[in-house]
Amino acid sequence: HKISCFPCMFEPPGHDERLMQAGRAEDQSSPTDTLASEIPWLRRKRPISMQTPDRWPPDGRIPSRKRAGFLALLVTGLLAATASQGLDPRKAITQLSHISWQTDEGLPQNTVRAVAQTPDGYLWIGTQAGLVRFDGAQFKVYDRRTDGAVFKNDHIYTLAIDTAGDLWIGTNGGGLIRRREGLFELFEERHGLPSGRITALAPAADGSLWIGTYGGGIARLEGRRIDVFGLDEGLSHPVVFDLDLDTAGDLWIGTFGGGLNRLRDGTFESFTTTDGLVNNYVWAVHPGREGDLWIGTNGGLQRRLRDGTFESFTTSDGLSHNRVISLLEDRDGALWAGTYGGGLNRWFDGTFTHLDQRQGLSSDYIWTLYQDHEGTLWAGTLGGGLNQLKDGPFTTYSTDEGLASALPSCFFEEPDGALWIGTRSNGLNRFSDGEFEHHTTATGLSSNNIWTLAGDRQGVLWVGTTGGGISRWHGDRWSHLTTQDGLADDSVFALAEDRHGALWIGTNKGLNRYDHGRFEYFSDADGLASNQVRTFLEDRRGHLWIGTTGGISRFDGESFQTFSTADGLSSNNVWSIYEDKDDNGVLWLATSGGGLNRLVDGSITVFSTREGLFDNDLTTVLEDHAGYLWLGSSRGAFRVAKQNLLEAAADRTLPLDLVAYGHRDGMKTGECYGGDPAGIRTRDGRLWFSTLDGVAVVDPASIEIVPAPNVLLEEILVDGTQLAQQPTPLPPDGKLYEFHFTAPTLLVPGKIRLRYRLLGFDDKWIPSGQARKASYNNLDPGQYTFTAMASDEHGRWTGTSSSFDFTIRPAFHQTLTFYLLCGIAVTLAGYGLNRLQVQSLRRREKRLESRVEEALTNLKVLSGLLPICSACKKVRDDRGYWKQLETYIDEHSEASFSHGVCPTCLDRYRAKEARRRTAVSS
């Protein structure tokens, strides 16, 4: 359902088209009575208590809703980040770093109605598909699917943080929810709320909470008591858009058609068009720091001054749209106004500037505005998700800021600080005092495609173009040099003046020296590395270094000496040469495809992605005041300490400590590209880089290091079951132990690193990467300490770690009792086995004794007189039977027979067999 106006958000029963029309009309009269009488569901419900609250906010300074939330963040002291970042109002609104998040990045839905930050650093986002928690890197959704007992409606309309740090959540029909210490609690109409549609929240300094509703007026929640204030108490309209408390403790109320209301000491006072209000539909109210009140209406932006008069701002004053639905005054004093259809406006020093979809905003419908404790501005939109605006270390100048082209190429600084910027398609820019002056072929340039700039000691600006030769600016007029004058080629890629006043010119067809109106030509036939020249440098010894597509050459005035890949150079495409300001004779070379090279006395040291460099395609090398080298690359600008490079060159196992900067740091694009020079350090110490979307400038001396954030343990799981984060013994049967942790930071989430370790298992720190989770399998019983910590954006581990101590109970089979019982059992078993063996031996002994006795008995029988037949040799037993001798012995003894032939019988058998054969043969 696409939202067209505020009432459609709720889709109330019996919704009348006239109500929608009223939201757009410039109605000069209050429609309260008409609406209340004609639309039954708008009629006021009777409050639980009609009494005036017995305890009002004390006299004195009571912070507004936004300030109260911010105070809660500071008082709790739970966050490590203490740097007071902000949004520099001197920067153009288009120069602020802008990032957006939508469903593709993890939001459940692209309409964001509310944003708030709890003291632990989490950003909470109210969408039409649930409540979202954001730590800067990951989204977690709370809705009816995750907690249906509390979230009766997934449309989150408003959020607020009270002085205790609790999060209050107003829903569209699902009542009011409080989140305290990780637990949600629901307040509904049955608890005394006048309506389940909560539209606005304003925490007071005394701990109470003011609640605005859609159709039920306002309510005050203190503890468990709810007092309701509606039409009978003097409220001009029961539909409330916004609430806020000023420094005097007055509650300001914006209504739907009832104008502006103020509740002071229990009495309502209303302000409508008859009192100077430009429109009676008040979307937003915001007390200013100077005691005035900002008001967003359907008819423009208004400011109620301390004397009670109204000042109006509309599109005729520079406002982008007259329907203002969200307001915020940031800590730098600028007022931000979100409009319904006109994007985002900033009012500062009497001037409006704006940002809309044409300039990168994800939607022109800004529902809510919020500034977090790190100074980031958040804009929730209709259909465009969540937008973040922050003041990064880089400031970019592109076409929105007046640069002639988004494709700059080269720089030159005049002695007075004016900066010349060449572009690749739209000529030349002169930047001075924040203003751009343009020069093109229409004003005398030979070509609008500029690749290199240089100046000489006479104050002449030399402009090298592609296709147009050289243009010279004498301060008031242009002149030109081309091939017709002796130039080697009309495409000029490098210019430099040497100490003798001669101008060196690099082209695609060799090298020129121009001195006193005469051209001298050099090429690869003279020893130049390549005819395609890209950059120059004259070192402190007076040698000219020429970077080409075939390596680098040194010219000493008479001959060339060349260094290429054959000599150890990582790439022959040399785009920039820088002479070390602290170490004579040391050159730093930016190459295309080969990273950074250090050249000294013919020895070359290479630093590429293999050694830890972010990118191998470099465009420029600059050095700041603190000894850091800044490198422009196709992946952004990054810096590295020279000392770190030297240490890494001596010990290749040492890592490079790099800090990268890109789109999230104020650069409109991280891709650096350009001519000669593609980067420059100006006299004020600032560094300028040419990119594919404007020039990006940074002041290294003013960079504030964002402290390392605190690490939070979100949950601890054992075999998928969440545990309470208390040092209690854990069960012994766990197979998988999981620790989920994070480090909420909304300013530089992509630059911090996380690591963890489990003491008792391994003392070494383990980098977590992007997982933000640690898993362990089958831990032995014992005491453990899980610790996680985060680094700052420079990779230094300076933050406070978060630890969890726990003990895993041993299973019964792992206890001393079990081992003692096992010992006793083994002893008893050994004793029992021994007894059994002894008994078995004794039984065997008895059997042997019995058999011996029986055998002896049998032997005695056999020892007597045995009758034997003299013919057949049978024996007569004691019963008178004649048996074979072997049968008798087998029955009366343990002896047995084996059959064989004795020698005598064998001889007799052989003699008998011989006689038989003789008889047969004869």
CA dist list (Å): 116 to 124, 364, 620: 5, 21, 42
Tens of pLDDT, residues 793-845: 877 887 778 888 888 888 766 667 877 888 888 888 888 888 888 888 888 88
Tens of pLDDT, residues 125-140: 999 999 999 999 999 9
Dig out the tokens for 404 from the structure: 């002639």
Strands 112-117 and 260-264: unpaired
Tens of pLDDT, residues 98-125: 999 999 999 999 999 999 999 999 999 9
CB 619 within 8 A of CB 691: no
In the chain, % of residues over pLDDT 70 = 87
Three-state SS for 829? helix
Locate all alpha helices (DSSP H) within 605-706, ordered by sequence.
642-650
Q: Residue 149 CB: number of other CB atoms within 10 A?
A: 8
Asked if the model's pLDDT at residue 858 lies above 60, the reply is: no
Asked if the model's pLDDT at residue 11 lies above 70, the reply is: no
Average pLDDT score over the chain: 85
Mean pLDDT of 445-458: 94
Amino acid 38: pLDDT: 31
Strands 729-730 and 802-808: parallel
Amino acid 922: pLDDT: 67
Q: Name residues whose C-beta falls within 8 Å of residue 836's C-beta, 6 or more positions apart in sequence.
A: none
Amino acid 76: pLDDT: 37
| Angle ∠(639,643,647) on CA atoms, nearest 5 | 115
CA dist list (Å): 281 to 257, 274, 277, 320: 4, 13, 10, 18
Residue 714's nearest CA partner among 102, 172, 138, 59 is 138
| Angle ∠(121,122,124) on CA atoms, nearest 5 | 140
Amino acid 128: pLDDT: 96
In the chain, % of residues over pLDDT 90 = 62
| Angle ∠(679,685,691) on CA atoms, nearest 5 | 25
Mean pLDDT of 849-856: 70
Asked if the model's pLDDT at residue 414 lies above 80, the reply is: yes
Higher confidence at residue 897 or residue 660?
660
Averaging pLDDT over each range in 76-85, 264-273, 861-870, which range is the top one?
264-273
Binned at pLDDT 50, 70 and 90, residue 883 comes out as confident
Amino acid 71: pLDDT: 37
Amino acid 771: pLDDT: 82
Mean pLDDT of 604-610: 93
Tens of pLDDT, residues 299-328: 999 999 988 999 999 999 999 999 999 999
Averaging pLDDT over each range in 16-25, 397-406, 746-755, 879-888, which range is the top one?
397-406
Dig out the tokens for 653 from the structure: 């196992």
Dig out the tokens for 478 from the structure: 């242009």
Least-confidence region, from 67-71, 296-300, 695-699, 764-768: 67-71
CB 710 within 8 A of CB 690: no
Asked if the model's pLDDT at residue 80 lies above 50, the reply is: no
Q: How far apart are CA 29 and CA 258, in angstroms?
A: 8
Asked if the model's pLDDT at residue 9 lies above 60, the reply is: no
Enumerate the β-bridge partners of residue 688: 680, 697
Three-state SS for 67? helix
Q: How far apart are CA 80 and CA 798, in angstroms?
A: 10
CB 259 within 8 A of CB 235: no
Amino acid 899: pLDDT: 66
Mean pLDDT of 422-432: 95
Higher confidence at residue 914 or residue 416?
416
Tens of pLDDT, residues 708-742: 888 998 888 888 888 765 656 777 777 888 999 99
Taking the complete model, does pTM exceed 0.75, yes or no? yes
Tens of pLDDT, residues 536-590: 999 999 999 999 999 999 999 889 999 999 999 999 999 999 999 887 789 999 9
CB 297 within 8 A of CB 286: no
Dig out the tokens for 911 from the structure: 């003699």
